[in-house]
Chains A and B, each alone.
Chain A
Amino acid sequence: QQQVKQSPQSLIVQKGGIPIINCAYENTAFDYFPWYQQFPGKGPALLIAIRPDVSEKKEGRFTISFNKSAKQFSLHIMDSQPGDSATYFCAATVYSSASKIIFGSGTRLSIRP
């Protein structure tokens, strides 16, 4: 049973386009939703995160949109660049307990020059 569902599995976008990655969760106890970026040969690195009390969070070119009632959240990358090509994982956890993170299955993003 996959608690965090992520789509699409892969995505190709031209430079300057806006890739969008979508995630949905089931467990209403989750209250912290991070996104991780992973380059080949490296471990996942925290990119941006959101709590459910806000509907949107922006950090530079990266934006998370959050819909608590639908239990869905998404990542948008504005003005995408070839250097953004990586695998992106959405995730969910219970923030206060330093507990395990539940990851989505990942999206392999390729930005074409």
Chain B
Amino acid sequence: EAGVTQFPSHSVIEKGQTVTLRCDPISGHDNLYWYRRVMGKEIKFLLHFVKESKQDESGMPNNRFLAERTGGTYSTLKVQPAELEDSGVYFCASSRPGGYGYTFGSGTRLTVV
């Protein structure tokens, strides 16, 4: 079983630019989650998809962040325009329908300069 794939693994962009992160969950995993870890702090929840629907987006910081999940498969997280405080590691995770047991991807390290 292939794991959760995220890319790019690293991204360095200038303040004000746009960046799009992608996550490919494990096949058959209806639940897809985005989390973020800012340097040295806890890993914080951003949002949860069930198939293509947003189940919970209470953790999204502001309207500069837009998440989509096309056809209930892969997901993208766009930051537009990026700010310095958006720097951190963005993790994606997926799990089976109705289930627990997250599998995390390796993350995308975003640096905004």
Contact = CB atoms under 8 A, between A and B. Distances in A.
B74 interface: no
A4 B45 contact: no
Given A43-B91, A103-B44, A105-B41, A32 B100 contact: yes
A101 B45 contact: yes
The 3 A-B residue pairs with the shortest CB-CB distance, nearest first, are: A43-B104, A100-B45, A103-B43
Given A32-B100, A44-B91, A98 B45 contact: no
Contacts of B101: 46
B93 to A, nearest CB: 8
A102 B45 contact: yes
Contact of A106 (B31, B42, B56, B104): B42
Interface string B72-104: 000000000000000000010101001111101
B43 A44 contact: yes
A43 B41 contact: no
B25 to A, nearest CB: 12
B39 to A, nearest CB: 11
Interface residues of B, number: 26
Nearest to A89: B43
A97 to B, nearest CB: 9
Chain A contact residues (Cβ within 8 angstroms of B): what range? 20 to 34
Contacts, number: 55
Given A43-B91, A44-B91, A101 B42 contact: no
11 contacts: A4-B42, A41-B106, A43-B91, A43-B105, A93-B100, A100-B45, A101-B35, A101-B45, A101-B102, A103-B42, A105-B41
A98 to B, nearest CB: 6
Given A44-B43, A105-B42, A98 B98 contact: yes
A100 B105 contact: no
Interface in A32-59: 32, 36, 41-46
Given A99-B48, A101-B45, 13 more contacts: A43-B4, A43-B93, A43-B105, A44-B91, A46-B101, A98-B99, A98-B100, A100-B33, A100-B58, A101-B43, A103-B35, A104-B42, A106-B40
